Amino acid sequence: MHIILIAIIVLLLIYIFIVSQKTSSQSYSEPAETLIKNSSSDTNHEFIFISRGKLFLNNTSNQLEEIHSPYVQEMIDRMNRKKQLHGWKQNTSLSTSFVGQNDISANDQVGLQVVGAQFCPDNKLIYFMKDSNVGGLFKYDATTKTEHRLLHQQNLYYENLAVNPDSGKILCSDHHENGTADVTILNDDGHGSEQLTEGDTVDSSPAWIPGDVSSILYQSSGLARSEEGYVIAHGPSAIKMLNLDNNEVVSVLEDVNFDFLQPRVDRQGNLYFIKRPYEAQQYGGSNLILDTLLFPFRLLRALFHYLNFFSLMYSRKPLTSASGPKVEADLKDILIKGKRIDAEKALRTESRINGIPSLVPKSWQLIKRTQKGAETVLATNVASFDLTSDDTILYSNGYAVFQMAQNNQSQVILRDKLIADVIAS
- The pTM (predicted TM-score) of the whole model is 0.76
C-alpha triplet 305, 320, 99: angle, nearest 5°: 45
> 124 pairs with which residues across the strands?
120, 141
Burial class (CB in 10 A: 0-12, 13-18, 19+), 299: exposed
Cβ atoms of residues 50 and 117 within 8 Å: yes
Q: Which regions of 131-165 does DSSP assign to beta strands (E)?
A: 134-141, 146-154, 158-163
Amino acid at 178: N
Cβ atoms of residues 220 and 237 within 8 Å: yes
CATH of domain 31-69+112-282+328-424: 2.130.10.10
C-alpha torsion 169→175→176→180, nearest 10:
110
User: What DSSP character marks residue 327?
Assistant: P
How far, in Å, CA of 297 to CA of 20, rounded?
12
Phi, psi of 200 (to 5 degrees): -85, 65
DSSP assignment of 13-27, as one string?
Answer: HHHHHHHHHHHHHHT
Task: Provide the greatest CA pair distance for the chain.
Answer: 82
Q: Which regions of 170-257 does DSSP assign to beta strands (E)?
A: 170-175, 181-186, 194-195, 201-209, 212-225, 231-234, 238-243, 249-253
Q: Residue 273 belongs to what H/E stretch?
A: strand 271-277
Q: Residue 76 belongs to what H/E stretch?
A: helix 70-85
Amino acid at 278: Y
pLDDT (tens, 9 = 90+) of the chain, 425 residues, equals: 556 655 666 666 566 555 444 444 443 333 333 344 444 455 678 999 999 889 999 987 778 889 988 888 787 777 777 777 765 555 555 454 444 444 444 444 557 899 999 999 888 999 999 988 889 999 999 888 899 999 999 999 999 999 998 889 999 999 999 999 999 999 999 999 999 999 999 999 999 999 898 999 999 999 999 888 888 889 999 999 999 999 999 999 999 999 999 999 999 999 999 999 998 766 555 566 766 777 776 777 777 766 766 565 555 566 665 444 343 444 445 677 777 777 667 777 777 888 888 889 999 999 999 999 999 999 999 999 999 999 999 999 999 999 998 777 889 999 887 898 999 98
User: What DSSP character marks residue 102?
Assistant: B
Cβ neighbours for 288, distance < 8 A, ≥ 6 positions apart = none
Q: At what angle do helices 2-26 and 285-315 cross, to 10 degrees?
A: 100
